[in-house]
Amino acid sequence: MSPISKEKKTIHVISFDIPYPPNYGGVIDVYFKLKAFKEAGIKVHLHCFEYSRNKSAKLNDYCESVTYYKRNIYKTNLFGKTPYIVASRSTEDLINNLLKDDYPILFEGLHSCYHLPDKRLKKRRKIVRMHNIEHNYYNSLASVEKRLFKKYYFLNEAAKLKRYENVLDHANAVAAISLNDKLYLSEKYKHVVVISAFHPYETVQIKEGCGKYALYHGTLTVGENNQAALYLVNNVFNNLNIPLIIAGNNASLELRQAIMKNRNIKLRNKVNNRKIEELIENAHINILPTFQATGIKLKLLAALFKGRHCLVNTPMIENTGLEGLCIVKNSAEELKSEIKKICSIPFNKENIVEREKILLTNGFTNKHNINQLIELLFS
C-alpha cells in the first residue's frame, strides 16, 4: 500500500447505530474498525443514528468528532418505496456536515446509504461496507417469524431492499464481509473486495485440554438464533447425556419451555460480553449451527479465537476461509454422532497452532483488514 499523505488522513464514517457498547454483530464490526483506524493514524469524524442506545463518551477515544442524529422512526416511512431502514436514517444535517470538507466517506451498511447518490457528493470518494446481503437477511428473518405483522414487514422490507440495492452503483468500491457476499455483489457492481469482520481478538487464546459442556451462544431475540437454539434443544441434545449451555439474552418462552424439559440443558440469560467469553473459553465444544447463510458470523470468530472444538453446519462456514478450522456436520444425527466422538478428545497444542496459522495470516486480523480498507478509501 502506498503511503498516505498527512493531509488525507481524515475520513467520515456513517454508522447505522451508536457503536458502543459493542454487543451485537454489526456494531462490533463498526466499533473495532474505529479502534483500528485510530491505531493506523487515521482521523475519523463519526456520524451515528440514535434511537435505542445512549450516546457514549467512549467513542471520543477513537474519533476526532462524534455527531448524533435522531433516527426518524415515524411509521410513515413504512409506506414509501425506500426501505424503512434507509428512509429512517435520512437527515439534511448529515449531508450538510459531509459537505464541509472533501474527506472520503465510509457508509456502514445499506442502512446508511440514503445520501450516497446525492449529486453534491458526486466527486467524493465513497466506500460502502456491506454487513449482509440485506434482502436475503430480511427474507430469512421472515421465514422464522411467527407474528403475522412482523413477517409482512420483513417480506416487504426485503423486496424494497432488493430494488434499492442498486444505489451501490454510486460507490467507488464495496467492501463485502465474506466471499459468499462478494460472489453475489461482483455480478452486479464494480470493484467489490472482501474485508472480513473486525472483532475484539488480537491473539488466539485457547485453553488446552477438555471442557465439561457444549455451548451455543447468540442474541436470542434474533429469530435465526432462536431457531438454531430450539433445533439443538429439540433435535440434537434431546437424548444426549452431554451438558449443553445456551447463552444469550431474552430467550423466547418457547425456548425456555423446551429447555426445561431437558435436564442436561441449561439457559444462561442476561449475560454480558465477559461472561460469554468465559463460557466460550471453558466449553469443550462450541456448537454453532445456522439456517441463514449471510455475511460472516462474529460468534464464529469468537469461538475460533477463544474456544476449543468448533462444530458447525455448512451455512455457517461455507466460503468463509475458515472451513479447515471447524468440524462440519449437517444433520441432527451427524451432529449427535460427532458430539459423542469429540466430547472426550482433548484440544492440544497442535490444534492451537493450526488455529493461529489460519487466523493470524489469512486475513482475519484487524490490522490486515484496516490496511485493506485504508487503501480503498484513499486509492
pLDDT tens readout for residues 128-138: 999 999 999 99
pTM given for the model: 0.91
367 in the same domain as 342: no
75 and 127 belong to one structural domain: yes
Specify the 3-state DSSP secondary structure of 329: coil
Looking at the structure of the chain, the number of domains it has is: 2
Measure the CA–CA gap between 230 and 343, rounded to whole angstroms. Answer: 21
pLDDT band, residue 335 (cuts 50/70/90): very high
Average the pLDDT over 247-259 and give the result: 94
Residues 13 and 146 in one domain: yes
Q: What is the mean pLDDT of the chain?
A: 93
94 and 218 co-located in one domain: no
Q: What is the pLDDT of residue 320?
A: 85
Handedness of CA 249, 254, 257, 259 (dihedral sign): negative
Q: Are residues 169 and 225 in the same domain?
A: no
- 318: pLDDT confidence band, cut at 50, 70 and 90? confident
Residue 6 has pLDDT above 50, yes or no: no
Q: What is the pLDDT of residue 363?
A: 83
Full residue range of the structural domain in which residue 15 is found = 6-196+363-378
The answer to whether residues 59 and 179 belong to one domain is: yes
Query: Kind and range of the H or E element at 246?
Result: strand 244-247
Q: Which three cell numbers stand for residue 266?
A: 441449561
pLDDT at residue number 144: 84
Residue 317 falls inside a structural domain: yes
pLDDT in tens, 351-379: 999 999 989 988 899 999 999 999 999 98
247 and 156 share one domain: no
| Secondary structure element (H or E) that encloses residue 48, with its range | strand 43-50
Q: Residue 354 to residues 305, 327, 336, 362: CA-CA distances in angstroms? A: 11, 14, 25, 12
Q: What is the mean pLDDT of residues 251-263?
A: 94
Q: What is the pLDDT of residue 1?
A: 41
3-state secondary structure of 293: coil
Closest by alpha carbon to 196, among 378, 10, 361, 24?
361
Domain membership flag for residue 264: yes
- CATH number of the domain at 36, please: 3.40.50.2000
Q: List the 192-194 sheet strands across, edge first.
A: 65-70, 43-50, 10-15, 105-108, 126-130, 173-176, 192-194
173 and 316, same domain (yes or no): no
**Per-residue confidence at 289, pLDDT binned at 50, 70, 90?**
very high
What pLDDT is attached to residue 295?
66
The predicted model gives 9-33 an average pLDDT of 95
CA dist 32 and 366 (Å) reads 8
